[in-house]
Amino acid sequence: MSWIAGDLNRAQLMGRLPAIGEHFQRLHASFYPLSQLPPETMELCRLRLAQLHRSDADFALAEYPVAAGKREQLQNWHSAAVFSAAERACLELAEVHAMDCGAITDALADAVKQHHGEAGLVALLQGLGVFDGFIRLGLIWQAAPAGGKQHG
């Protein structure tokens, strides 16, 4: 139960200030249809952020379909064979981004660009910033997400 406004979930809380909250929701949704980065990769990175923040509610969400094996083995993406080199590059950058965005190295950024180009790197960094924000909002508000919208 959220300490701000009782028994409301994250989406409902955002809806209480629609002039801003609705723009935030639209921006969040805009990352999955992008051509610059595969939506499954975007979703894997969102899920990894949820794991790092220990947000079980955000990890339980499914914003875009992800192969069951990948979801189950996401914590071990370094060694699990189900992840492609391109996915590993994005997941590695997502992990460092979550801990300290200033610690992202040129090598980490170059690895993402090698697979997805400069636009792919920008799309990923934009998405990570917004996904991280949604997760943190849920945690600090103590409000669960409303349930994912399937973008795929």
Partner 1 sequence: MASTARVSPPAGSTGNVIRDSALGIVPETLDHYLALNAAIWDAGPLSAAEVELARLRNARHTGCVMCQAVRYDVAIADGLTEDKVQVIRQDDPMAGLSERERLLVAFVDQYNLDPAGIPESLQQDLLEAFREDELLHLSLLVAWFNGSSRCAVALGGMPEAMPRLEISVPR
Alpha helices in 1-147 (DSSP H): 10-15, 18-29, 39-52, 56-60, 68-72, 85-99, 106-141
Site for partner 1 in 99-138 (CB under 8 A): 101-102, 104-106, 109-110, 113, 118-119, 121-123, 125-126, 128-130, 132-134, 136-137
| x/- track of binding to partner 1 for residues 55-94 (CB under 8 A) | x---------------------------------------
Nearest CA to 51 among 9, 11, 85, 95? 95
Nearest to partner 1 of 24, 82 (CB atom)? 24
Distance (Å, whole) CA 48 – CA 43: 9
Nearest CA to 38 among 64, 67, 59, 69? 64
Count of Cβ atoms closer than 10 Å to residue 39 Cβ: 18
Nearest to partner 1 of 63, 70 (CB atom)? 63
- Which residues are at the interface with partner 1 (CB under 8 A)? 3-5, 13-14, 16-17, 19-21, 23-24, 26-27, 30-31, 33-34, 36, 53-55, 97, 101-102, 104-106, 109-110, 113, 118-119, 121-123, 125-126, 128-130, 132-134, 136-137, 139-142
